[in-house]
Structure 1
């Protein structure tokens, strides 16, 4: 079981390469559609100004799922590559099978969805611009393919147990 508070601190302490630390968390509703990523403006969860960022997220987690952004990726057609941007950037050459399986997602933000009222999480992605009305979280199906293994490796390096 993960230590949610320490995991949030760990992600926020190293996320400047790919996201503003105050926008690292996004509310995700039960239907997986995206909610607000402006945690500072959410007042319906008994959030107080003096609460730390981690305390605010823990209060929200009692009622909503929360997506933690750990990086983003973009696929490059024709050459079957994927660029992954996180604390460290990666360039993966994908097999035809991998490219066909994942490339339809284009540019996405990846990370973990913390399930409400628990310390369970799902690896997945969401639209790069969560301001779109149809922006949603999508679970990334576990596999032995290099793309999934690299995302899992990056995510595992951020999670504190």
Structure 2
């Protein structure tokens, strides 16, 4: 994965579901969410003239970062999920898939890029990092049509 091109690609069209200037989150090693104020972060060798992408690349050398590709909303009783991304998707889930993937609250769907690498994990986070227990959660891999579509959506945003 070309991290800089991936960041640029996702950021160019993320305004359907998140502000492009606060779209990436720092994720600690214990998977809790940190700040998403990339333009206000100091240190990491960041210079005032660095673009958003350059700042994020410098941070990614020392921190895990989460790049959202959409927002997931689950509807109990109906076993449905709506995903708002570059395109919008509606999923009718089996009871098993709903139990495996659903959340009580709206979640950001995306990739956790491990620090100083291009390795990533597909998962979800809270929409806001302001809660003390806001964290990243890896999506369980499965052979379900839902997971396959999620993986396809995520991988379509990654530039090699």
Whole-angstrom distance in 1 between the partners of 2:51 and 2:134:
27
| 1:34-71 deviation digits (Å, cap 9, x = unpaired) | 11000011102121121111111111011100000111
Matched residue of 2:90: which SS?
strand
Q: How many residues align?
A: 160
2:26 equivalent to 1:32: no
Whole-angstrom distance in 2 between the partners of 1:88 and 1:99:
21
Counterpart position of 1:48: 47
Cα displacement (A) at 1:28: 0.6
Counterpart position of 1:152: 151
- 2:101 and 2:140 in contact (8 A); partners too: no
Q: What is the RMSD computed on CA atoms of the aligned residues? A: 1.1
Counterpart position of 1:107: 106
With structure 2 as the length reference, what TM-score do the two structures score?
A: 0.96
Counterpart position of 1:124: 123
Whole-angstrom distance in 2 between the partners of 1:134 and 1:100:
21
Whole-angstrom distance in 2 between the partners of 1:123 and 1:57:
19
| 1:91-142 deviation digits (Å, cap 9, x = unpaired) | 1000111112122454211100010011111111111221111101111111
Whole-angstrom distance in 2 between the partners of 1:35 and 1:103:
23
- Moved >3 Å (runs of 4+): none
With structure 1 as the length reference, what TM-score do the two structures score?
A: 0.95
Matching of residues 137-148 of structure 1 within 5 Å = 137-148=136-147
- 2:100 and 2:140 in contact (8 A); partners too: no
Query: Aligned pair in 2 of structure 1 residues 32, 98: CA closer, same or farther (>3 Å)?
Result: same
Counterpart position of 1:83: 82
Where in structure 2 are there 5+ consecutive unaligned residues? Answer: none
Cα displacement (A) at 1:155: 0.7
